[in-house]
Amino acid sequence: NAGVTQTPKFQVLKTGQSMTLQCAQDMNHEYMSWYRQDPGMGLRLIHYSVGAGITDQGEVPNGYNVSRSTTEDFPLRLLSAAPSQTSVYFCASSRTSGDGDTGELFFGEGSRLTVL
């Protein structure tokens, strides 16, 4: 059981380049989300999805795009990378919306992105 799988683990981009961070889960979870983690700050929600075909913005959505064509996959696209997007990105999934009393959030191992 792989859980939540993120690729790539490391990526270096130049300003203005675009790329996609991949996320897949094999637990049949309806809820999936993307967070970024920066030094001295708590995890911040970028985008989330409560099911296939449904996505919504989180706290810091600017510069990012998502889609959810299947239950398993939730890719995060950086449209035109900026140095401010240098961060560690985590994908997470849960069986419920994430705040139910059994909504344990399962995280991937993270993708470390550096934008030069």
Binding of another protein at residue 7 (CB under 8 A)?
A: no
104 is a site residue for another protein (CB under 8 A) = yes
Q: Shortest Cβ distance from residue 19 to another protein (Å)?
A: 20
Binding range to another protein, per CB under 8 A, among 22-30, 63-71, 75-83, 104-112? 104-112
User: Should residue 26 be labelled a site residue for another protein when binding is judged by CB under 8 A?
Assistant: no
Q: Does 40 bind another protein (CB under 8 A)?
A: yes
Strands (E), 1-116: 4-7, 10-13, 19-25, 31-37, 44-51, 54-57, 64-66, 76-78, 87-94, 106-107, 111-115
Q: What are phi and psi of 85, to 5 degrees?
A: -90, 5
CB of 80 to another protein, least distance (A): 27
For residue 53, CA distances in Å to 30, 61, 68 come to 11, 18, 5
Q: How far is the CB of 24 from another protein (least distance, A)?
A: 14
The answer to whether 80 and 16 are in contact (CB under 8 A) is yes
108 near another protein (CB under 8 A): yes
Which tokens belong to 64?
């990012």
Cα(4)–Cα(30) distance, rounded to whole angstroms?
A: 13
Closest distance of CB 39 from another protein, Å: 9
Q: Which residues bind another protein (CB under 8 A)?
A: 4, 40-45, 90, 92, 97-99, 101-110
